[in-house]
Amino acid sequence: MTEIIKLTAAQTAEKIASGELTAVEVAEAHLARIEAVDEKVHAFLHIDREGALAQARAVDAKRAAGEPLGPLAGVPLAMKDIFTTEGVPTTVGSKILEGWIPPYDSTVTRKLKAADVVILGKTNMDEFAMGSSTENSAYGPTGNPWDLTRIPGGSGGGSAAALAAYEAPLALGTDTGGSIRQPAAVTGTVGVKPTYGGVSRYGMVAFSSSLDQGGPCARTVLDAALLHEAIGGHDPLDSTSIDAPVPPVVEAARSGDVRGMRIGVVKELGGEGYQPGVVQRFEESVEVLRGLGAEVVEISCPSFVYALAAYYLIAPSECSSNLARFDAMRYGLRVGDDGTKSAEEVTALTREAGFGPEVKRRIILGTYALSSGYYDAYYGSAQKVRTLITRDFEKAFEQVDVLVSPTTPTTAFPLGERVDDPLAMYLVDLCTIPVNLAGNAAMSLPCGLAPEDGLPVGLQIIAPALKDDRLYRVGAAVEAAFVKKWGHALLEEAPQL
């Protein structure tokens, strides 16, 4: 069984297609693994054993009937609990949606089902994707498989931990300010935030509409590309979805050739405040790229220093409006409806009980920032910063093909360390946020362990909008070089659970 769970998604699909493994065997192996370790890891909020096995059986039947199978047919996947799944609970990590069974599938869910991917269940996350440690989940934190007393990152800590704990070879995340990339960095896995509009947001519960982007999480660059291809593409149900073909990500991941590429190191994303081991591993990665034939230059993006401030005005503003619908009227939690209270009172009691402190903090921040008389100073200025950051990127990409930086300034910190210090928590996303503000694409992949704590460090690669394939080309090259150097994948060094 151990063998099956350690296979990559690409290998798994190949073995199912060739008949070496059945989809049911694969699903059962992962369900057994979840049963064995998830009590400790707590990556999942809901396990859909029946649904997963039914889907696996359907794949095996298809193969038996000689029907063609897609490139991910039968491969198990852990889905962040932010995508709606018809008939399967979707909580977004919040008490306010406890017990809600969506009547519809998100576009991504629908595409995965059509691709015969086996959805094992829904993964833990910071409530409404607000957080960087998964500690804001209303259902308890997730542990980092490298050290269960440490954070798995967030908001998509459940998906990243599921990959690192071999509970699934593929996972789905959403990235509003780093929620795919930062968990990938601290768990030694791969995560990609596609170009804004590259993956449909229909059925993805909104946190900040102009920043949210669903994307693939995996243990290898190629697996991420295969998943990216399966979920990407235009969706007429999402008006912000880009009407263009998915960039050739799988082809790029198979090529991994960076000779002649120009790579920019972002001056503002590094230096003081960064953990020495993180800086060291990042610098090694740059050397690796140079060694592979890429040309490396330093690039300055002066407006990035304002990114965090702008983000914490835009995201709360949009969330204050997006979360207004949770009013106890139509779905989810309802508190205090004893026949004596008004609708307003029931709404107030429900929101008081149903939203956690971080969600309340952001609703209040956003409500304030959008208020008449403050709009220009806060939301208006933040939008201007956004334009400046986009221009910084545009200028940078006139000179280089991709930019690189550490994904996050530190490795995984202990659970509980920053829960009472929101500002320290917000700093975790310093390097990832500019990408969301500009809407371009970025990847995090493992680049080694920090010598001082033996925990994974992530390398961030940033590409221009619609050039997602460049991430995979560079990522695959770096991955191959490191695996060759280490003699194995980084995750092999993680402790046994």
Q: Considering the complex, state which of residue 239 and residue 496 has its C-beta at the smaller distance from other proteins.
A: 239
Is 80 known to be catalytic? yes
Smallest gap from Cβ 320 to other proteins, in A, equals 8
Task: Find where tokens 């694409």 sit.
Answer: 441
Is 321 known to be catalytic? no
Is 241 known to be catalytic? no
Cα separation, 365 vs 358, in Å, equals 10
Give how far Cα 213 sits from Cα of 31, 328, 338, 441, Å. Answer: 28, 27, 40, 10
Q: What is the SS3 string spanning 261-293?
A: CEEEEECCCCCCCCCHHHHHHHHHHHHHHHHCC
Smallest gap from Cβ 102 to other proteins, in A, equals 7
Smallest gap from Cβ 201 to other proteins, in A, equals 6
Q: Considering the complex, state which of residue 236 and residue 276 has its C-beta at the smaller distance from other proteins.
A: 236
Cα separation, 154 vs 191, in Å, equals 12
Q: Considering the complex, state which of residue 206 and residue 471 has its C-beta at the smaller distance from other proteins.
A: 206
Cα separation, 434 vs 250, in Å, equals 26
Smallest gap from Cβ 210 to other proteins, in A, equals 4
**What stretch of H or E contains 229?**
helix 221-231
- Cα 413 from chain centroid (whole Å): 18
Q: Considering the complex, state which of residue 33 and residue 386 has its C-beta at the smaller distance from other proteins.
A: 386
Task: Find where tokens 């399966």 sit.
Answer: 230
- Cα 239 from chain centroid (whole Å): 22
**What stretch of H or E contains 121?**
strand 118-123
Q: Considering the complex, state which of residue 29 and residue 346 has its C-beta at the smaller distance from other proteins.
A: 346
Smallest gap from Cβ 359 to other proteins, in A, equals 14
Q: Considering the complex, state which of residue 10 and residue 125 has its C-beta at the smaller distance from other proteins.
A: 125
Which residue type is seen at 80? K
Q: Considering the complex, state which of residue 201 and residue 470 has its C-beta at the smaller distance from other proteins.
A: 201
Smallest gap from Cβ 130 to other proteins, in A, equals 15
Strands 76-80 and 170-174: parallel
Q: Considering the complex, state which of residue 193 and residue 386 has its C-beta at the smaller distance from other proteins.
A: 386
Interface residues toward other proteins, by CB under 8 A: 83-84, 90, 92, 97, 100, 102-104, 106, 201-206, 208-210, 236-240, 317-318, 320-321, 324-327, 329-331, 343-344, 347, 367, 370-372, 375, 379
- Could you tell me which residues are beta bridge partners of residue 456? 449
Sheet with 402-406, side-by-side order of all strands: 44-47, 118-123, 76-80, 170-174, 214-218, 190-193, 441-449, 456-463, 402-406, 262-266, 295-299
Q: Considering the complex, state which of residue 8 and residue 322 has its C-beta at the smaller distance from other proteins.
A: 322
Are residues 415 and 142 in contact, defined by beta-carbon separation less than 8 angstroms?
no
Cα separation, 126 vs 109, in Å, equals 20
Are residues 258 and 247 in contact, defined by beta-carbon separation less than 8 angstroms?
no
| R_g over Cα of the chain | 21
- Could you tell me which residues are beta bridge partners of residue 237? none
The 8 Å CB, 24+ separation contacts for 272-275 are 273/409, 273/427, 274/406, 274/409, 274/410, 275/409, 275/410, 275/411, 275/450, 275/452
Smallest gap from Cβ 71 to other proteins, in A, equals 27
Smallest gap from Cβ 106 to other proteins, in A, equals 6
Length of the chain: 497
Cα separation, 241 vs 212, in Å, equals 12
Catalytic annotation, pick one of 15, 80, 111, 122: 80
Q: Which of 99, 105, 144, 123 is nearest to 235 (CA)?
A: 105
Catalytic annotation, pick one of 155, 159, 285, 444: 155
Smallest gap from Cβ 378 to other proteins, in A, equals 11
Catalytic annotation, pick one of 106, 132, 137, 179: 179
Query: What are the residue numbers of the active site?
Result: 80, 155, 179
